[in-house]
Amino acid sequence: MLPEYTAIAFDKVIEKGGRTKPWTVLVETDRGIKPYVVKMFTPHLVENRDVVTNEVLGNVLAREFDLPVPEAALIHMDENFRMTIHDPRAQMAFDAADERIKFGSALVEGNYLFNPAFTKTQAEKMIDLDTLFAFDVFIRNRDRNAGKPNLLVTGKAAWLIDHELGFEIDQQAIADFKAGQWDEKFYLYHIFLNYLKKSRLATKRDYFGAFTEYLRTLNVNIIQPYLQQLGNHGYDQSRHTMIRDYLREIRQNSPNFDALLKSFIA
Ligand SMILES: Nc1ncnc2c1ncn2[C@@H]1O[C@H](COP(=O)(O)OP(=O)(O)O)[C@@H](O)[C@H]1O
Ligand SMILES: [Mg+2]
């Protein structure tokens, strides 16, 4: 389960970059008061894209592949919290936001966005390029591209954020995988594709080794308590079986997935 915290003070709206304009707020955690970034989704996005489930699963599964993600939590925003918002536009956004418990991630301090102008050598000091590429293909996340890197850099590390549009999974996705096919929109625009493509043949052969080993040993059941928790908070549960089936199908055929990944960077 994710920890559940209560927001105690509004800080600001993050205006730059993304579509959803998340907020920084102070929340009461079991380790004291900490700044968190909370996604203020509209009911429309929650209903149509199941964005909160995607954020939670993206964060939880990234850990299984040793990819750095900020601590995630579910954040409760009540009337006392609302009284700490003095900016009228933020008050309107609060009232327009979906009322359920929200997805938040611990503020990554002093970060800058990953920049596609970085060289491959610079980028690979920050993160395993092949593992992140494979992970995004796996979770069907189209939202890590040059326009929207959704990768926060601090010092020498890069942190994954923003999985709201991942897990674009349906029966066709499973059928395609069984047939050795994959819709190119799920890898063609990935921020790391060109770095991987430019590599030497010998390097390419070794790519995805770590990812495939994590995948082979992935316990899909670990997502169950998180899905249950979301269900308890009134989030839709109708996609859960499909998501589990999809993850298991890929896990059970990890060599095929490895071959598919290698074909994308050939
Ligand atoms: N945990 C975090 N720590 C620091 N900044 C964050 C964090 N999460 C999001 N942000 C900032 O907020 C911006 C938008 O967040 P993101 O999750 O990408 O939302 P959107 O759906 O609007 O793209 C990011 O580009 C980043 O600048
Ligand atoms: Mg974003």
Per-residue pLDDT of 65-111, as tens digits, reads 999 999 999 999 999 999 999 999 999 999 999 999 999 999 999 99
Buried b (16+ CB within 10 A) or exposed e, 75-85: bbbeeebeeeb
The conformation of residue 142, written as its DSSP 8-state character, comes to -
pLDDT per residue as tens digits for the range 22-40: 999 999 999 999 999 999 9
Average pLDDT over residues 215-230: 98
Mean pLDDT of the chain: 97
Tokens of 138: 């796996």
Q: How high is the pLDDT of residue 20? A: 85
**pLDDT value at position 156?**
82
Give counts: helices (H), strands (E), the chain: 13, 8
Over residues 121-128, the mean pLDDT reads 97
SS3 156: coil
Q: How confident is the model at residue 17 (pLDDT cuts 50, 70, 90)?
A: low
Instruction: Determine whether the shortest distance from the Cβ of 75 to ligand 1 is under 6 A.
Output: no
Please give the Cα distance from 66 to 127 (Å, whole number): 10
Q: Note the pLDDT of residue 225.
A: 98
- CA 22 / ligand 1 centre spacing (Å): 7
Contact 111 CB / ligand 1 (< 6 Å)? yes
Instruction: Average the pLDDT over 154-169 and give the result.
Output: 96
Q: What percent of the chain has pLDDT over 70?
A: 99
CA 163–ligand 2 middle distance (angstroms): 8
Lowest mean pLDDT among 129-133, 155-159, 166-170: 155-159
Q: Is the CB of 29 under 6 A from ligand 1?
A: no
Residues 6+ apart with CB under 8 A from 163: 54, 55, 57, 58, 59, 62, 139, 141, 143
19 lines ligand 1 (CB under 6 A): yes
Hey, what are 126's tokens?
């920050």
Bridge-based pairing of strands 157-160 and 151-154 is: antiparallel
**Looking at residue 19, what is its pLDDT?**
78
Which residue from 12, 16, 24, 37 has its CB within 8 A of the most atoms of ligand 1, so it is best to mutate? 37
Spatial separation of the C-alpha atoms in residues 137 and 10, rounded to whole Å: 35
- What is the percentage of the chain residues whose pLDDT exceeds 90? 97
Side chain identity at 173, as an amino acid letter?
A
pLDDT digits (tens, 9 = 90+) for 174-214: 999 999 999 999 999 999 999 999 999 999 999 999 999 99
